[in-house]
Amino acid sequence: MTEVMSKISIEKISQSKITEVDFNNIVFGKQFSDHMFVADYKDGKWSDFKILPFGKIEVSPACAALHYGQAVFEGMKAYKNEQNEVLLFRPLDNAKRLNISAKRLCMPEIPEDIFMEGLTQLIKLDSEWVPKTEGSSLYIRPYMFASEQLLGVRPADEYKFIIFTAPVNSYYAEPVNVKIETSYSRATEGGVGYAKAAGNYAAALYPAKLGQDAGYQQLIWTDSVNHEYIEESGTMNVMFHIGDKLITPNLDFKTTLAGITRNSVLTLAKDLGITVEERRVSVTEVINAAKEGVLKDVFGTGTAATIAQVASITFKDDKYVLPKIEERELSNKLAKMLQEIKHEKIEDKYSWIHKI
């Protein structure tokens, strides 16, 4: 037993809520598992490790996160294999990225052993909540926020780290229609675009709503200077299969999240012998490829959807329809490989799976 594990106090729920859930009809992100892991940062250290029944938390009206936005989070999933064992996909990468985000927002890093022990004990306790049905999983949300009572613009001295979970089905039921955004920006160079900061998502809501009102499920974000180069699609990384190459925006300008699914897809594509290019991708290049008939596929990559295929791209007043889903050999194959790795149906050559 590790030192961290020995310090985790566990209070179990009196009666599980699992019988109230129809696992065949789950609304994404609306039903939550029985317990949550909580840790507090105070006096320069993390302590008071607890697993509690999922429920409300008490914060002051002067809670620093509510006023100054010090809040970061992660998204990850748990799966089950045929032996009913619980599997996590690349959890240490989520821990590392959470700390990258925390550092950028002047927040304390969470030690990886605390992250992993809290996560492990929580998932063990709620293992029955990991769905067994095809296309379902247990979504895991680790997050950190400034909890100090504070009116005064400075980094807080107190923080909470919490992990809770929710059984989920597929995020997108079908391919999405997207619009290339040329008025609003998701991120700027020198900003926090590479961090999973809560404020990034708040800033994206209004332009996304305008797009949805116009009939688009998502936006393709472009650079904030001239809206010339593509960065992300909605809340996901984005990839373009042009000719015989898989092309995706690079991470050099720190306006794009270093997606764990993104990295996994690129790794698998290289394994398949596909030429992969990580570089600046211009709107003009993508539109010309669509006009010339060499744009074979466009898809987003992320934890929630894994691979979300794009049905059409609209740029200004022109709509470009992508090939039928059954014709998209590469993204279909990559999606299948990822799912099979996550459920231990094929070899995990990269040691991505962490078994609980």
pLDDT for 1: 44
190: number of Cβ within 10 Å: 9
Instruction: Record the pTM.
Output: 0.95
pLDDT digits (tens, 9 = 90+) for 268-280: 999 999 999 999 9
Location of each CATH 3.20.10.10 domain in the chain: 176-342
pLDDT tens across 13-54, in order?
Answer: 999 999 999 998 888 888 999 999 999 999 999 999 999 999
Q: Which of the following CATH numbers is that of domain 3-169: 3.40.50.1100, 3.30.470.10, 3.90.380.10, 3.30.70.260? A: 3.30.470.10
Q: So what's the pLDDT on residue 2?
A: 57
- b/e 25-37 (16+ beta carbons within 10 angstroms → b): ebeeeebbbbbbb
Stretches in the chain below the pLDDT threshold 50: 1
CA-derived radius of gyration, the chain: 21
At residue 5, the pLDDT reads 56
- Terminal CA-to-CA distance of the chain, rounded, Å? 15
DSSP code for 236? B
CATH number of this structure's domain 176-342, picked from the four choices 2.60.120.860, 3.30.43.10, 3.20.10.10, 3.30.420.40: 3.20.10.10
**pLDDT recorded at residue 261:** 98
Residue ranges in the chain assigned as alpha helix (H): 3-7, 64-68, 91-104, 112-125, 198-213, 260-271, 283-292, 329-342
Q: Looking at the chain, which residues constitute the CATH 3.30.470.10 domain(s)? A: 3-169
Query: Residue 236's beta-bridge partner residues?
Result: 233
